[in-house]
Amino acid sequence: MTTIFGIPLQALLGQLLIGLINGSFYALLSLGLAIIFGLLRVINFAHGAQYMLGAFIAWLLLAHFGIGYWPALILAPLLVGLIGAIIECTMLRRLYSLDPLYGLLFTFGLALTIEGTFRYLYGASGQPYATPALLTGGANLGFMFLPIYRGWAIVFSLFICIGTWLLIEKTKLGSYLRAATENPVLVQSFGINVPLLLTLTYGLGATLAALAGVLAAPIYQVSPLMGSNIIIVVFAVVVVGGMGSIMGAIVTGYLLGVAEGLTKVFYPEASNIVIFVIMAIVLLLRPAGLFGRDA
């Protein structure tokens, strides 16, 4: 059997694929963060909580209303997006004129409040969420047994990432958004409702986080801690990709997922710090991040 550094090639391929699956969650989450930071200049620490909310709403819909995975995949993100929009309108908006630190502290407090509430209500152990019937089972790829649901997670997140990138970079609405953050006064004077655009942006970021949450529910337990477990890694992804760079967030998400996967084969003890080591190296060599433009 062919081996690379003592690891059979087949096992390596399996680990690469698993890295890509985890990477797709990193990509989806860092995408939302990058959009919010890039357009609003807000460091959204509540992103993990919004991811957790997405998963929890999907679980609540199933447990209390019998609404299954597919409707929840649309309903839960929309609901969280709406909550995000309300938060932006009523609270976050007041902080734009202040130092970005205030936005960070506000969203951090928000995250702690939301997570604390859910932990109080539902405990720290996760709630089980069954894989939808259509996507159960797995396929033998020869080098590994791939659960169909995980395959779906890669395809779906790739689709959403590309779709969001096109929306912001290639559509008229996207160009308004970008313009509104570049020079809000000028854009407003053209008769475009800038505050509404900003609300939509924050709502979109929250929606993306919740979408990742619903996607994660059948794989991980639906737990109040799921957001805080992943959020720090996602921040590292955004920093490595270049703060605010949307394409950077997506590509780095997948890349770091793979890097983490490979570490789990060669030196598992380091698997939860490898991303931060990479972050430190990137910051030393390219402070603006891999895809960032130097300010």
Residues that bind another protein (CB under 8 A): 8, 10-11, 14-15, 18-19, 21-22, 119, 123-128, 130-131, 138, 144-145, 147, 149-150, 219-221, 223, 225-226, 229-230, 261, 264-265, 268-269, 271-272
| Residue recorded with tokens 């009523």 | 90
Question: 176 or 220: whose CB is closer to another protein?
Answer: 220
User: Which lies closer to another protein via its Cβ, residue 83 or residue 262?
Assistant: 262
CB of 10 to another protein, least distance (A): 8
Least separation in angstroms between residue 139's CB and another protein is: 10
SS3 call for 245: coil
Q: What DSSP character marks residue 127?
A: B
Q: What are the residues facing 4 on neighbouring strands?
A: 7
Please, which residue, 49 or 83, has the CB nearer to another protein?
Answer: 49
Least distance CB 264 / another protein (angstroms): 4
Least separation in angstroms between CB 104 and another protein:
21
> Who contacts 65 (Cβ-Cβ below 8 Å, separation ≥6)?
none
Find the shortest distance in angstroms from Cβ 41 to another protein: 30
Residue 50 CB, shortest distance to another protein, in Å, is: 17
Report the SS3 class of residue 7. Answer: strand
The kind and range of the H/E element at 219 are none
Residue 52's closest CA among 178, 177, 230, 219? 230
Q: 138-140 and 7-8 as β-strands: parallel, antiparallel, unpaired?
A: unpaired
Distances (CA, A) of 220 to 29, 166, 217: 15, 30, 6
For 222, list phi and psi in degrees, rounded to 5: -80, 100
d(CA 214, CA 129): 10
Question: What CA–CA distances, in Å, run from 241 to 60, 87, 168, 227, 259?
Answer: 34, 27, 17, 20, 14
Contact in structure between 23 and 256 (CB atoms under 8 Å): yes
Q: Which is nearer to another protein, 107 or 263 (CB)?
A: 263
| Encoded tokens for 276 | 């931060």
CB of 53 to another protein, least distance (A): 17
CB nearer another protein, residue 29 or residue 35 = 29
Helix or strand (DSSP H, E) at 93: none
CB of 209 vs another protein, minimal distance in Å: 16
219 vs 247, beta carbon nearer another protein:
219
